[in-house]
A and B are shown apart, each in its own frame.
Chain A
Amino acid sequence: MTGDSGSISVDLSGQLGAFTLGATFSVPMRGITALFGPSGCGKTTILRCMAGLQRLQGRVALGPEVWQDDAQGLFVPPHQRHVGYVFQEASLFPHLSVKDNLQYGAKRVGAAQGRSIAFDDVVQLLGIGHLLDRSTRALSGGERQRIAVGRALLAAPRILLMDEPLSALDKMSRDDILPTFERLHEQLALPILYVTHDLGEVERLADTLVLLDKGAVTAAGPIRALQLDPKLPLLASSEAAVIIEGRIVGIDTAFALTEIGIDGGTLLVPGTHGPIGQMRRLRITASDVSLARSAPHGTTIVNSLPGRIVAIDDSGGPQVNVIVALGPNGDGLRIAARITRKSLVTLGLAIGDAIYAQIKGVALIASRTSLVS
């Protein structure tokens, strides 16, 4: 956690229907932080408390700005907290035009505060120029949500709070709007707190992850660290994977492959993605990784990287998770390999062993680049 940019710190407790919410976490005030957990775990409540729309006991602060501190009897009303809030449903004002919706908050930001983002920039960023003169009723779900995001951004927030902004959309609109969210983060340097129960969205967007279950924080930290933590459900799940980031270093036009350099080796990804020099976010599923004692020959798997075993998560079941640090010296990125316990025993794998990780599939999931290392 860097000191200069501060952190988002939340310490809340209270009764919430059938269960008690007791959430304490502190995450960096930059990048996208996902609040992830099953429905009804209290993640939306936390977001609402951050915005001041709901009140539980405790303390909420954004860097040096304290918004709630019951110890000092402090509670800043929502309109004085500089948050942008995107609700699950776009909730556009039906009595205002698209343009007036966008400018509702902008008009109320004091001139002294300085507009942090210009109207035209927001319109361009979100690709909503052609919608400005339409009635809010003539918009699709995805278009409505874009307007809602633009409206929040134009109110010059210091943090953007997004409450499952995609869950009310169909898959096509979702795929359409996700790249916009990535761009948003890259271009605005605005911290985003993103509530979701969709692991795909987390992997694509999040730098930092707060795991919630039944009103309590299970873990909070950089997404990659949490993905490889044997104590957490992420690694145990059938979809266990790790998100890594790499730079495009070459393109093989003859076979239509893209070469991506990562810390600890180079990966080949199907398709020609460019331009060279750009960063990409990749997903490596644990069950797509197998291990070999020696450099494999005569295999169809193109990605085979040397590495060292740094941890073995053996819970006694038929399969085990082996954490491998890439690079001949084992000082590169870490990935997880899911192998059978039989293989573990047959090969006699142990921590510190030099091995080759054969990666059957690498998914290029996003173009965003700001993963906290």
Chain B
Amino acid sequence: MATLDFAQLWSPLRLTLELATLTTLLLLVVGTPIAWWLARSKARWKEAVAAIVAMPIVLPPTVLGFYLLLLLGPQGPGGALAGLWGARTLAFTFEGLVLGSLIYSMPFVVQPIRNAFEAIGDRPLEVAATLRASPWDTFWSVAVPLARPGFMTAAVLGFAHTVGEFGVVLMIGGNIPGKTKVLSVAIYDFVETQRWQEAHILAGGMVVFSFVVILAMLVIERRTARVGT
């Protein structure tokens, strides 16, 4: 049996954690205003926007990855963007992976936050308005604290989905160690090369990770239900 190369295990793990953390933080920033708008707007076409945001749930990851590849490649807007710092393309880069993950994991962040905002209802916001709070003030002092369980669910789901991403990464990231070779791709690789021990360690870790995520979700949900009473 070959000796374990811990660098080969640690590199994809670290990259995955970096990608998932960055993606989750960015999604909270980008997704919150979208979720607020979807929850509060009376625009008739808002469900169309909601559908676009939710599409990655049903689209095969390879389809999403294919279009992203065109988008990020030298001929797409991603290539033009990369040109700003002298690169030729965003495909097969960490930045490209972050962009892809943002789109791929977006619905898992927007939906829980939207639900949480909707669950607040009009009343607390009206109360705040009659107590001299401007809409901006009300958002931060009432809406966000009341939607906190939604934000926690969103963060957990967004992070977990980014960690589990495979198809999209394969299409737009490839398999470059230290740059785009994330956990799921590494497991695939280890299996392909019959390095069962490494595959076992990473896959087993993912099982434990998934369990912790689901458990966290259930605990958050229970707490939300308690707040509601």
Structural contact, A94 and B131, CB atoms closer than 8 A: no
Q: Is A117 an interface residue (CB 8 A)?
A: no
Using CB atoms, name the residue of chain A closest to B229.
A137
| Residues in B whose Cβ lies below 8 Å from that of A155 | 130-132
Q: Complex Cα distance A94/B223, Å?
A: 13
Interface of B is mostly: helix
A303 to chain B, nearest CB (A): 45
Q: Using a Cβ–Cβ cut-off of 8 Å, how many residues does chain A contribute to the interface with B?
A: 23
| Residues in A whose Cβ lies below 8 Å from that of B229 | 137
A142 to chain B, nearest CB (A): 18
Which one of B123, B129, B146 contacts A95 once the chains associate, using CB atoms below 8 Å? B146
Structural contact, A85 and B133, CB atoms closer than 8 A: no
Q: Is B81 an interface residue (CB 8 A)?
A: no
Structural contact, A78 and B124, CB atoms closer than 8 A: no
B131 to chain A, nearest CB (A): 3
Q: Is B60 an interface residue (CB 8 A)?
A: no
Residue among A95, A151, A152 with the highest chain B CB neighbour number at 10 A: A95
Structural contact, A94 and B146, CB atoms closer than 8 A: yes
Which one of B127, B137, B138, B142 contacts A85 once the chains associate, using CB atoms below 8 Å? B127
Residue among B124, B130, B137 with the highest chain A CB neighbour number at 10 A: B130
Residues 107-156 of A contacting B (Cβ, < 8 Å): 108-109, 137, 151-152, 155
Which one of B130, B141, B145, B148 contacts A152 once the chains associate, using CB atoms below 8 Å? B130
Which one of A78, A93, A94, A137 contacts B130 once the chains associate, using CB atoms below 8 Å? A78
Q: Complex Cα distance A104/B124, Å?
A: 12
Per-residue CB contact flags for chain A residues 76-90 toward chain B (1 = under 8 Å, else 0) read: 011100011101010
Per-residue CB contact flags for chain B residues 207-229 toward chain A (1 = under 8 Å, else 0) read: 00000000000000000000101
Q: Is B134 an interface residue (CB 8 A)?
A: yes
Which one of B123, B128, B146 contacts A104 once the chains associate, using CB atoms below 8 Å? B128
B42 to chain A, nearest CB (A): 13
| Residues in A whose Cβ lies below 8 Å from that of B131 | 79, 104-105, 108, 151-152, 155
Q: Is A51 an interface residue (CB 8 A)?
A: yes
Per-residue CB contact flags for chain A residues 253-283 toward chain B (1 = under 8 Å, else 0) read: 0000000000000000000000000000000
A167 to chain B, nearest CB (A): 16
Known: A78-B126, A87-B123, A108-B137. A95 touches B145 (CB 8 A): yes
| Residues in B whose Cβ lies below 8 Å from that of A104 | 128, 131, 133, 141
B117 to chain A, nearest CB (A): 14
Q: Is A91 an interface residue (CB 8 A)?
A: yes
A229 to chain B, nearest CB (A): 34
Q: Complex Cα distance A48/B227, Å?
A: 28
Per-residue CB contact flags for chain B residues 124-164 toward chain A (1 = under 8 Å, else 0) read: 10111111111101100110011010000000000000000
B223 to chain A, nearest CB (A): 12
Using CB atoms, name the residue of chain A closest to B138.
A79
A199 to chain B, nearest CB (A): 27
| Residues in A whose Cβ lies below 8 Å from that of B126 | 53, 78, 85, 87
Q: Complex Cα distance A89/B122, Å?
A: 13
| Residues in B whose Cβ lies below 8 Å from that of A91 | 123-124, 127
B162 to chain A, nearest CB (A): 29
Q: Complex Cα distance A189/B129, Å?
A: 24
Per-residue CB contact flags for chain A residues 22-52 toward chain B (1 = under 8 Å, else 0) read: 0000000000000000000000000000011
Q: Complex Cα distance A104/B134, Å?
A: 12
Q: Complex Cα distance A189/B89, Å?
A: 71
A108 to chain B, nearest CB (A): 4
Per-residue CB contact flags for chain B residues 109-131 toward chain A (1 = under 8 Å, else 0) read: 00000000000000110111111
Task: List 4 tightest A-B contacts by C-beta distance, closest first.
Answer: A105-B131, A108-B132, A85-B130, A78-B129
| Interface CB pairs A-B, < 8 A, 26 | A51-B129, A52-B129, A53-B129, A53-B130, A79-B129, A79-B130, A79-B131, A79-B133, A79-B134, A79-B135, A85-B127, A87-B123, A87-B126, A89-B123, A91-B127, A94-B146, A95-B142, A95-B145, A95-B148, A104-B141, A105-B132, A108-B133, A108-B137, A151-B131, A152-B130, A155-B131
